[in-house]
Amino acid sequence: MPTSQPVLRYKQPEKRYDVIVIGAGLHGLAAAYNLARYHRVGRIAVLERRYIGFGGSGRNTEMIRANKRAHETLPFYKESLEMWDGLSAELEWNLMVQKKGLIALAHSDGELAVMRMLSDSQRRAGIKIDMLGPEEVKKMVPSLDVSDKPALPVAGAQFHPEGGTVHHDAALWGYAKAASRCGVDICAGVEVTGFYVEGGKVNGVRTNVGNIAAGKVHVAVGGYSSEIARMLGVKYPVVTIPMQVMTTEVMAPFLDYYVASPRLHWYTQQTLKGDLILGGQLDPWQSWNSSTTWQECSERVAFILEYFPDLAHARVVRSWSGLCDCTGDSAPVMGPSGIDGLSLDIAWGYYGFKSTPACGKYAAEYIATGKVPEKIRHFGLDRFYNRQRVREIII
Amino acid sequence: MPFLIDCPNCGRRSPYEFKFGGECKRAPDPGADVKAWCDYLYLYENMSGVQDEWWYHTMGCRSWLKIRRNTVTHEIIEE
Amino acid sequence: MAGRLPGCATQVLDRARPVRIYFQGRQVDAFEGDSVASALLASGIDTFSRSFKYHRRRAPSCLSGQCSRCTMSVDGRMHVKTCQTSVREGMSVEPHGSVEFDPKSLADTFSWALPTGFYYKYFYKPQWFWKRVKEVFRAMPGNMATVRPLAGKSRIDAVNLSPEMLVVGGGLAGIEAAITAAQAGVRVVLAEADGWLGGFDAFQGEAGHRRAQDSIRRLREHGNVRVLTSTWVSAIYPDGLAICVQSCGGEGPEGVLERVFHVRAGTTVIATGATSVPPLFENNDRPGIILPEAAQRLVHLWGIRPGTRILLAGGDDYLARVGLELIDKGIGLAGLADYRESGPDEALRARLSEHGVRIWSGYKVTGSHGRTRVEGATLAALGGSDVQTVACDTIVASSGRYPRHKLLGQAGARMAYDSGLNFYLPEDVPRAYHAAGRLLGLEDPEAIMAQGRVAAVRALEGLGIDVGTMGQEARQALERPSPLRAVSAQPLSTEAGKKAKTFVCYCHDVTEKNVEQAVEEGFSDIETCKRYTTATQGACQGGMCEANFTHVLARKRPELGSRTLPTTRPPVASISLGAMAAGHHDNPQLSPLHHVQLEHGGRPMRLGSWIRMNHFGDELAESLAVHQAAGICDVSMLGKFRVFGPDAKKLLNRVMTREVGNLAGNKILYSSSCNEEGILLDDGVVLKMGEDDYFVTTLAGRAPVTEEWFARWCREEDWQVHVVNLTETRAGMNVAGPKSREILSKLTDADLSNEAFPFLTWARVKMAGVDVIAMRMGFVGELSYELLCPSSQAGFLWKRILEAGKPLGLVPFGIECLNICRLEKGHAIPGLDTDGFTNLFESSFGWMLNRTKTETVGKPMLELFSDRPLKEQLIAFSMDGKSPVLDGCLVVKGPRQLGRVTSIRYSPLLDKTIGLALVEPDEDWREGGKVRLWLGEGREVEAAFAKPPFYDPSGGRMKA
Ligand SMILES: Cc1cc2nc3c(=O)[nH]c(=O)nc-3n(C[C@H](O)[C@H](O)[C@H](O)COP(=O)(O)OP(=O)(O)OC[C@H]3O[C@@H](n4cnc5c(N)ncnc54)[C@H](O)[C@@H]3O)c2cc1C
Ligand code: FES
Ligand SMILES: [Zn+2]
C-alpha cells in the first residue's frame, strides 16, 4: 500500500531559469516534462497564476480522438492518440485511458457524404475507422433512438474505435508529478504580467512576485493567449469563447461509447464513475467569463434527450464552463512567435486535451532545437498570411 | 454568464435573441497589402475587458447594434 | 420505530385517507400527506440505499431534499428523492440495486487498500491489466440507477413568469417579504421546496406551527402572490432568470409530472434558511444518524418516532430543545452529549435533568456502532479520555449551522466565513438580490420576520417602487437588536480516525482521512483537493459536506487563513433532463407548397431548417421527364428580397461581385457574393423592378443569413436603402422542359414565345389568374420558367399547372432530380461544391468578378492573391454507366490526396455517372486526363476529366 508521498510539489520561483513555461495546464506541464526528461536545457520552471489545472485542462470533457478533417494534420493527431497508451506507465500514474470508441452520428445523406470523405481520409492516414448504419449503431448503443422520431433521425455514423477518454485530472497530476521529479519547478500563484524583450529576443518575464530571467519562454496559457499578446503588443488569430458542459447523477453502465452529433453539436459519454457528461457546443459569443447559462444547457439537453428518450428522468447535478481560444480554421498555433526565444502553444480551442502528449513532445523539441518539427509545421502563424489555413472546418 | 442587451428598438433582451458579430474592427483600404488585409481578417484584439462589438438582433428588429461590453463581467456600458 | 404518534395539528397527514404504496413489491401503508420516505420509515425500513464506494447502508438523514441519501426509483423514474415525493396510491418504489444483501460491501472491509486516489496510484501498468480493472470499476459503485426503457413520455410543462418579485423560501422571512411586496401592490411569486409553507417553523412544534399558520393566513389575504409549493429553485442566473421546478406528481399523458417555471423577476429575495451540519465521528453515516431538523420533521410533520432511545449530540442548545420536544412526545432519550465544556443553557439543562436525561458536557460522540442501523455510540471527553459506550437506536446530531447559500452564490454573492460565529455570511450581494431570515444566521422569529420585511422593502426600493411608510416601519422593527448567536464548530480530533471511517462527503464516501491524505500529497487548495478526493462533487453537490470539508481542510492547512467555499455552479438541486428540455421544440420551415406536394407523392426530407421534397418516387424518371416533356419543382426556399431606395445600387454593388448599375429593362443579372476573404458565399439573380428598386434572390435556405449580411454592409453608412425579406411571401416553382412553354401558355394570355420572352429575362404575367413574376433561367438545362407568386396562391397555381401539363407529360420533381439535371449542365452550388476555403476563382464562379469596381466585398483579397497559384479548383468528370462512387469520395494520385468529390449522380439521359470534385491543381486536369477515385485500400476507379456541360454544350435547349 503506497504511503502518502507528495504528488504535487509547488515551489517558490527562483530569479533565473533557462526555460520558463507559462501556464500549468496540460500543455505547459507536458512541455516542461518532455524538456526535462528528453532534452538538456538546464533549469525549467512552470509559472501558473492559479493552480494546476485551473484552465481548460481541468474542465474539459476528456475526449481523445484522431478523426480530424485536415489530412495534412492527421499524422499529428494519430501520434498523439497513440502516445496516450504508454503514458500511464511512463508517468507511473494511471491516466485511466479508455479507448472505448467514438460514434459520430450523421443525420442526412449530405452529412454521410462528408463523413465518408473524412473516414477515407483518416483510413489513408492509418487510422481505424468504420461507417455504420443506423441498425448497427443501435446494437452498440441500445438506448439510442434511431427511429424517425427525432426531427433529424440518425442516418448513419462513423465509428472511431481508438477514440475514447482519458481522466483529465489524472493526466494533469501525472504530468505534474513526473515533471517535479525530473527537477521542474512548478510555481503556483505566479502570474506573468509582462515580458522583457530586447532586440527581438526575449530575456525574461515580469510577474506578481518579481522579475524572472530566462532565455526561452514558452506560452501555454490556453484560453488566455490574447492577454499574453497584449503584453507583447501584438494580436493573435484567436477569439476566446467559453464552452459549457454538464454532468449527471450516476447510473449503472449503459453507454459504452462516446456518442456525438457533429451536426447538432452535442456529445455524451458515461464515465467510469457512472455519470454522464453532456455538452458539445461553444457559446455563441466571445467571453472571458466561465459561468453557465440556462439557455445553452437546456438546449444541449433537449437535443440529447431527443436521441436518448429514456434518460428523461436522469438528473443533471452540475454544469461548468471553460474558456477556449479559437482560431477561424479550428487548428492551433504552435512554434515561433516572431520573437526570438519565445515559443507558442496556444489556440487549442476545444480540442487541445487529446493533443497533449504530442504537443508536449514537439513543443519541447522546438524549444530545445529551435527547429520546427515536421509534424507541427502546419500550425504556424504564417499560415494566415499565405492562404495556408488548415482545412479543419466542416461546412 | 448571461446578461441582457438594451436594444434601442426592442428594449432589454436576452443575448440569445442576437447574433454576436465580433469586435469592431476597421478594414484597411482596398489597396492595402497582404499583411494589412490578413491582420485585419484573422487577428483579434480579443479583449478581456471592455470592448466595442457588433450584435445583430436576429429575433427582434433585425438591425446591427454597436455595444460596449465588458467581456469578463458581461457588464454593458452605456455610452 | 414502527407505529405513529397520535395525530396533532402540526402534522401534514390526512389519517382519514390511507394510501398504499409498494416497496420492492411489498405493500406499505401510508397516509395522504406522507412522503415516500416518511411512509417507508414509518413502516420500519432502515436501509434506503448503498453508498457509492463502500456499499455501506444509507438512510435519510435530512428529510429535506439535501442529502440525497433517500433516492430510489419511483414508478420507474430514477434518482427520485423519496423525501420530496408525496405518496400516491399504487406507487411502486425500488431502491437502486440490492440494499439488503450487497456483496460489493466487501469494499468496505478492504478499504484500507483503497487510499485516496488509489485508482491513480495503482494499475498504471501494464495496459491490459487496467483494461480489465476498469470494467470492475464500472460495475462497482453503489446506488446506481438503471436506465430502462420508459413506457411513454411524461408530461413536463414549461411556464414563463415575470413577476416584480421572486421570493425563494416559504419560511417566516420569505412569507413576510412576500406580504410586504404584495402590500406594495406588486406581483410576487413565492417558491417553496416543501409541499407546505412555514419553513423551519412548520416543524417547530405547536408554537412554531401557530406562528407559521398566522403568517400563512396573512399571506393568503393577498391575491397578487402566486405560491408555488413543492418547488425547488434549481438555479439563479445573474441576469435574473430563476429556474423553479415544481413536482406535480402526475404521470401519463394527462397528468403533469413536473412544471418548470422560468421566472424573470425584477428583484429576488432569497430566504432559503440554514441547515445543521452533519457531525464528524467514526461511522457517522449509519442509518439512524439524523440531523435534528429531520428528527423534528419526523415527529411534528408525520407523527413518526425517529427511534425509541435517542442520543442527542452536538454543541448547540438547539439539540437540547429538540430533546425536550422528543420527551414531550414520549420518546425515550439515551442522553445528550454536548461538546461545549459549559454544556447546554442552564434552564434547558435543568428541564432535561428533570426528565432524568443524562448530559455529558465537554463530550463528543467519537463513533457509532451497530449492524443494520445504529445500536450504540462511543463518547469521549474532548481530550480523548473517559471513553464510554452508550446504547441507542438513533443519534440526532449536528455540528453547527450552515447557510443554504448556493442560490445567493449563483446570483453573484460571496460567502465570507465568520470565525466568531462559525457561520458564513454573504458579502457583495448584487443589487437585484436580497437575503433574509435564517440564511443570515438569524434565529429569533420576530427578528426573522422583521428582516424579511426589510429585505422586501429594500428590494422594492431597488425597483423604484414607492413603499410609503412601510419602509420606515420595517426598519424600525429591525432596530431592536437581535445579535447573531455563535454556534461552535465541532472540535476535530488531532488525528483522523485510524481505522473506522469518518465521512466528510457521503455521496462519494470521502472520509476525513482521505482529505488529510490528499493535503499531505500536495492537493492542498480547495479546488484541487476537491477534485482529488471527489468530495462535494456528488449528488448533494456539497450541500451536506461543504461545511465539514472546509472545516477539515482548514484544520490541516491553518496557513490558508480564511476559509473559502468551492465555486457554486448551477443547478443547486439536481434537475431532470426532461425538465431541462421542456419548452424546446423543433420548428422546421414548410414551403407553401408542402402539402400539395405531399398529396402528389412527394417524399419529404429535412434540409437545414426547411423540409423539402427529395423526389416523388423515382428521380431518374423525373429527370428524363424534364428533358423529354416537363417537370415542376418547388423552389420556394430561395431567399427573396426587395432592395430599394436611392442607395440600393451602392449596397448591391458591395455585396455582389458583378456590376448592378448596368442592369436594364427586363434583363436578369446572375451574380454571386463573397465574404471579405474572397470566399464564395452565395449566388442568385438581381432584377431591376423600377428606378432604385431591385429584386434579389439567394440560395435556398439562406434568407436569414443574407438579410443579416445586407444589413451588415450598410450598418456604418447613412444610406437611403431598405431591405425587405420577401421569402415567405412569395412561393417559387420551376417549370422546366421542352413542353413548359406549351403548358404555361394554356394558363396565360401573355406571349411566352422566345422572341417576346427570351432567355435571361423576366416578365410580370397573370397565370391562371395569379400575379406571377416569371423568369427564364436555365439551371436544369432546358427551357424553363421560374415562377414567383404570392404564397397564398401557390397551391392553387401548382395544381392548375399540373392539370394543364399532365396530358403533355409534366411531372413534379424533387431535389434529387434537380441535382442530376444541374450536374448534367456542370452547375456548381456554392457551399455544397465549394467550402469555407474556396474563393471565387477556385470555384467555377470566377468569371463573375467585375474587375473595375472596387467596392465589392472580398475583391481586395481576391486581387492580392490573383497572381498566385490557386490552392484548389473545381473540376468535372464522368464515367460510363452507373458507378458506385458516392458524394464525398476522395480524389487521389498515388499517395497524394488531391481532394474530394462534392457531387456525383448517375444521369439516365447520358447513361453516365457525372460529378464535380474540389481538388488541388494538377497536370491531369486537362482533356484526356484521369481522375482517380479512392474506394478503399488498393481499390481505385478512374473517371475521365471533362469540361462541362455534359449536356447541350451550346445551351440551345435552354435558350430555345
Ligand atoms: C468545457 C471544455 C471541454 C473540452 N473538451 C475537450 C475534449 O473533450 N477533448 C479535447 O481534446 N479538448 C477539449 N477541450 C479543450 C482542452 O481542454 C484545452 O484545449 C486544453 O486543456 C488546453 O490546455 P492548455 O494547457 O493549453 O491550457 P489550460 O489548461 O487552459 O492551461 C492554461 C493555464 O495557464 C494559466 N495562465 C494563464 N495566463 C497566465 C499568466 N499570465 N501567468 C501564469 N499563468 C497563466 C491558467 O491559469 C491555466 O492554468 C475542452 C475545453 C473546454 C473548456
Ligand atoms: S433524506 Fe431525502 S434528501 Fe436527505
Ligand atoms: Zn432589436
**ipTM metric:** 0.97
Same fold flag, C3-102+279-397 and C495-579: no
CB contact under 8 Å between C711 and B64, yes or no, is: yes
* CATH code given to domain C3-102+279-397: 3.50.50.60
CA distance B32 to chain A (A): 14
Cell reading at C313: 449530540
Output the CA B18–ligand 2 centroid distance in Å: 41
Could you tell me which residues of chain B have a Cβ less than 8 Å from any Cβ in chain A? Answer: 1-2, 14-16, 19-20, 22-23, 34-35, 38-39, 41-48, 53, 71-74
Q: What is the structure's pLDDT at A191?
A: 98
Name chain B's partners: 3 or more CB pairs within 8 A. A, C
CA–CA dist C526, C137 (Å, integer) = 26
* One-letter amino acid of C217: R
Q: What is the structure's pLDDT at B52?
A: 97
Report the residue among C58, C67, C275, C289 best suited for mutation to probe ligand 2: largest number of ligand atoms under 8 A from its CB: C67
Q: Is C69 in the pocket of ligand 2 (CB under 6 A)?
A: yes
Cell reading at C370: 451497530
All structural domains of chain C with their residue ranges = 3-102+279-397, 155-274+402-478, 495-579, 638-726
Look up the CATH architecture of domain C638-726.
Answer: 2-Layer Sandwich (3.30)
Tell me what the mean pLDDT of segment B56-75 comes to: 96
Q: What is the structure's pLDDT at A121?
A: 95
Task: Indicate the helix (H) or strand (E) that contains C434.
Answer: strand C433-435
Whether the pLDDT of residue C471 is over 90: the answer is no
Of B27, B30, B33, the CB nearest to C854: B30
Chain A neighbors of C262, CB-CB under 8 A: 294
Q: What is the structure's pLDDT at C269?
A: 97
Residue A307, SS3 per DSSP: helix
Q: Please choose, from the candidates C243, C237, C255, the residue with its C-alpha nearest in 3D space to the C-alpha of residue C189.
A: C243
Q: What is the structure's pLDDT at C125?
A: 85
Interface B-C, measured as beta-carbon pairs within 8 A, has a size of 47
Residue C249 forms beta bridges with which residues? none
pLDDT (tens digit per residue) in C706-722: 999 999 999 999 999 99
CB A103 within 8 A of CB A159: yes
CA–CA dist C254, C811 (Å, integer) = 46
Alpha helices in chain A (DSSP H): 26-38, 74-91, 109-124, 134-140, 168-181, 225-232, 294-307, 356-369
Chain B contact for A331 (CB, 8 A cutoff): no
Chain C neighbors of A389, CB-CB under 8 A: 837
Chain B contact for C567 (CB, 8 A cutoff): no
pTM of the model: 0.96
Tell me the fold of A102-161+240-326: D-Amino Acid Oxidase; Chain A, domain 2 (3.30.9)
CB A18 within 8 A of CB A137: no
CB contact under 8 Å between B48 and A288, yes or no, is: yes
Q: Which ligand sits closest to the CA of C528? A: 1
CB C238 within 8 A of CB C248: no
Q: What is the structure's pLDDT at C119?
A: 87
Phi then psi for residue C511, to 5 deg, are -100, 165
Chain A contact for C158 (CB, 8 A cutoff): no
All structural domains of chain A with their residue ranges = 16-61+168-236+329-384, 102-161+240-326
Of A229, A287, A385, the CB nearest to B74: A287
Chain C neighbors of B56, CB-CB under 8 A: 708, 711-712
CB C434 within 8 A of CB C458: yes
Tell me what the mean pLDDT of segment C577-585 comes to: 95
CA distance C865 to chain B (A): 8
Chain C interface test: which of A310, A315, A383 (most C C-beta within 10 Å): A315
CB A166 within 8 A of CB A55: no
Q: Is A204 in the pocket of ligand 1 (CB under 6 A)?
A: no
Cis check: omega of the bond before C895, within 30 degrees of 0: no
CB contact under 8 Å between B73 and A226, yes or no, is: no
Buried b or exposed e, range C889-923, using 16+ CB within 10 angstroms:
bbbbbeeebbbbbbbbbbbbbbebbbbbbbbbebe
Q: Please choose, from the candidates C556, C462, C550, C474, the residue with its C-alpha nearest in 3D space to the C-alpha of residue C177.
A: C474
CA dihedral C827, C831, C832, C833 (to 10 degrees): 50
Q: Is A54 in the pocket of ligand 1 (CB under 6 A)?
A: yes
CB C934 within 8 A of CB C891: yes
**CATH class, C495-579 region:** mainly alpha
CATH code (residue B45) = 3.30.2270.10
pLDDT (tens digit per residue) in C486-522: 788 888 765 655 668 999 999 999 999 999 999 999 9
Of B2, B32, B54, the CB nearest to C241: B2
Of C239, C712, C860, the CB nearest to B64: C712
| Domain A16-61+168-236+329-384: homologous superfamily in CATH | FAD/NAD(P)-binding domain (3.50.50.60)
Mean pLDDT of chain B: 94
Helices C648-655, C703-712: inter-axial angle, 10-degree rounding: 110
Cell reading at A341: 526565444
Cell reading at A150: 427525432
Whether the pLDDT of residue C113 is over 80: the answer is no
Chain C contact for B72 (CB, 8 A cutoff): no
Q: Is A62 in the pocket of ligand 1 (CB under 6 A)?
A: yes
Q: What is the structure's pLDDT at A1?
A: 42
> Domain range for residue B55?
5-78
pLDDT (tens digit per residue) in A172-218: 999 999 999 999 999 999 999 999 999 999 999 999 999 999 999 99
Q: Which protein residue's CA is at the shortest distance from atom 3 of ligand 2? A: C65
CB contact under 8 Å between C588 and A298, yes or no, is: no
Output the CA C338–ligand 2 centroid distance in Å: 25
Chain A contact for C888 (CB, 8 A cutoff): yes
* One-letter amino acid of C684: G
CB contact under 8 Å between A113 and C887, yes or no, is: yes
Q: Do the bridges between strand C49-50 and strand C71-74 make them parallel or antiparallel, or are there none, so unpaired?
A: unpaired
Report the residue among A50, A60, A191, A266 best suited for mutation to probe ligand 1: largest number of ligand atoms under 8 A from its CB: A60
Q: In sequence order, which residues have a C-beta less than 8 Å from that of residue C260 and are 6 or more positions away?
A: C156, C157, C158, C159, C243, C244, C245, C246, C579, C580, C582, C583
Tell me what the mean pLDDT of segment C565-582 comes to: 91
CA–CA dist A26, A3 (Å, integer) = 26
Chain C neighbors of B74, CB-CB under 8 A: 238
Q: Please choose, from the candidates C131, C226, C54, the residue with its C-alpha nearest in 3D space to the C-alpha of residue A98.
A: C131
CB contact under 8 Å between A315 and C121, yes or no, is: no
Ligand 1 nearest-atom number relative to CA A27: 25
Report the residue among A330, A353, A354, A362 best suited for mutation to probe ligand 1: largest number of ligand atoms under 8 A from its CB: A353
Ligand 2 nearest-atom number relative to CA C83: 2
Chain A interface test: which of C52, C98, C124, C863 (most A C-beta within 10 Å): C124
Of B20, B35, B39, the CB nearest to A285: B20
CB contact under 8 Å between B20 and A289, yes or no, is: no
Q: What is the structure's pLDDT at C126?
A: 86
Q: How many domains does chain B have?
A: 1
CB contact under 8 Å between C150 and A53, yes or no, is: no
**CATH class, C155-274+402-478 region:** alpha beta
Chain A contact for C930 (CB, 8 A cutoff): no
Successive 10-residue mean pLDDT values, chain A, 395 residues? 74 97 98 97 97 96 95 96 97 96 96 94 96 98 96 96 97 98 97 97 97 98 97 98 96 97 96 95 95 95 97 96 95 97 97 97 98 97 94 69
pLDDT (tens digit per residue) in C827-861: 999 999 999 999 999 998 999 999 999 999 999 99
Chain B interface test: which of A49, A227, A289, A393 (most B C-beta within 10 Å): A289
Q: Please choose, from the candidates C869, C867, C851, the residue with its C-alpha nearest in 3D space to the C-alpha of residue C859.
A: C851
CA–CA dist A350, A332 (Å, integer) = 10
CA distance C859 to chain B (A): 8
CA distance A319 to chain B (A): 12
Q: What is the structure's pLDDT at C249?
A: 84
